[in-house]
């Protein structure tokens, strides 16, 4: 009875998200525009309104944290699938995986932009630290994934698209190094747990002869 009830709410949530695609697309598009707007507003306000600029500058790490959180969410269905665990509601994430991937890049880019802007205008000194190099490497991979997260690239690149998008596991490693080289935190521990789960789930699927990847949608 309990299991049946649980299945129902999960099915209902999935159906809602599947039937309301245009609403989800609208909401994600608004989020993308807001994030692009933050880079533009902070560039304007660094010269004209210190208070607005400070608000974004103080919160710049949160954009990185949000990018990491959405990325871990996107990776969850793959891990569950390889372990043979079926949580129906996680299919919602699979359904909007590409949209969420774009969100990961735009959040990470906003984070990078807010960190780089004061250096660019000469308020902060330019530094090249190891943890920043790892962040840059991760962002570069995310950029290639972002720029090919469309149906045209999926068709055009064929098998190469899948390989390109599997670089996400390397990006996760770089992100982990980026945050672990700063401090031990909830974020570095979460990234470590997910990287370990990724590796063990691949091992598990290999031993069990299960599928390694979900189909791209
Ligand atoms: C060139 C690219 C990047 C640079 C230069 C950069 C720089 C930084 C800096 C300077 C901080 C310290 C926070 C602060 O000073 O306010 C930070 C924190 C953080 N970054 Fe990045 N970052 C980059 C890319 C990324 C990417 C791609 C991600 C994840 C998708 C990410 C996730 C994080 C997280 C989660 C923190 C917070 C760590 C903590 O709270 O301990 N960063 N980053």
Quote the pLDDT of residue 46.
Answer: 97
Tell whether 36 is covered by a domain.
yes
**Distance between Cα 61 and ligand 1 center (Å):** 6
User: CA-CA distance, 191 to 181, in Å (whole number)?
Assistant: 13
pLDDT digits (tens, 9 = 90+) for 113-122: 999 999 999 9
Q: Which atom of ligand 1 is nearest to the CA of 191?
A: 35
Q: Is residue 144 part of a domain?
A: yes
pLDDT digits (tens, 9 = 90+) for 91-109: 999 999 999 999 999 999 9
Q: Which residues constitute the domain of residue 64?
A: 2-208
pLDDT at position 35 over 70 = yes
State how many domains the chain has: 1
Q: What whole-number percentage of the chain has pLDDT above 70?
A: 94
Nearest to 73 by CA among 87, 58, 59: 87
With respect to residue 51, please indicate whether it lies within any of the assigned structural domains.
Answer: yes
Give a yes or no: residue 217 inside a domain.
no
Query: Is pLDDT of 69 > 80?
Result: yes
Q: Is residue 135 part of a domain?
A: yes
- Examine the pLDDT at 4 and tell me if it is beyond 90: no
The best mutation among 58, 61, 75, 117 to test binding of ligand 1, ranked by most ligand atoms within 8 Å of the C-beta, falls on 61
Residue-level pLDDT at 197? 98
Query: 3-32 burial, b if ≥16 CB within 10 A, otherwise e?
Result: eeeeeeebeeebeebeeeeeebeeebeeee
Torsion of CA 37, 59, 183, 123, to 10 degrees: 80
Which residues line the pocket of ligand 1, CB cutoff 6 A?
Answer: 60-61, 64-65, 67-68, 71, 108, 111-112, 115, 132, 135-136, 138-139, 142, 175, 178-179, 182-183, 185, 187
pLDDT value of position 91? 95
Ligand 1: residue whose CA is nearest its atom 33: 64
């Amino acid at each position: 009875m309990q299991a049946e009830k649980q299945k129902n709410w999960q099915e209902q949530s999935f159906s809602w998200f599947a039937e309301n695609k245009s609403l989800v697309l609208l909401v994600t598009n608004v989020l993308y525009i807001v994030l692009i707007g933050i880079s533009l507003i902070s560039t304007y306000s660094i010269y004209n309104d210190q208070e607005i600029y400070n608000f974004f500058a103080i919160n710049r790490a949160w954009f990185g944290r949000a990018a990491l959180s959405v990325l871990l969410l996107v990776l969850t269905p793959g891990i569950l699938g390889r372990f043979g665990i079926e949580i129906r509601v996680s299919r919602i994430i699979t359904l909007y995986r590409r949209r969420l991937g774009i969100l990961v890049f735009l959040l990470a880019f906003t984070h990078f932009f807010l960190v780089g802007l004061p250096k660019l205008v000469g308020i902060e000194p330019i530094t090249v630290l190891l943890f920043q190099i790892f962040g840059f490497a991760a962002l570069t991979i995310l950029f290639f994934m972002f720029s090919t997260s469309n149906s045209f690239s999926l068709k055009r690149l064929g098998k190469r698209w899948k390989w390109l998008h599997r670089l996400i596991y390397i990006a996760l490693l770089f992100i982990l190094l980026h945050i672990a080289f700063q401090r031990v935190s909830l974020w570095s521990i979460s990234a470590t747990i997910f990287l370990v789960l990724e590796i063990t789930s691949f091992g598990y699927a290999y031993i069990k002869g299960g599928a390694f990847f979900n189909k791209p949608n």
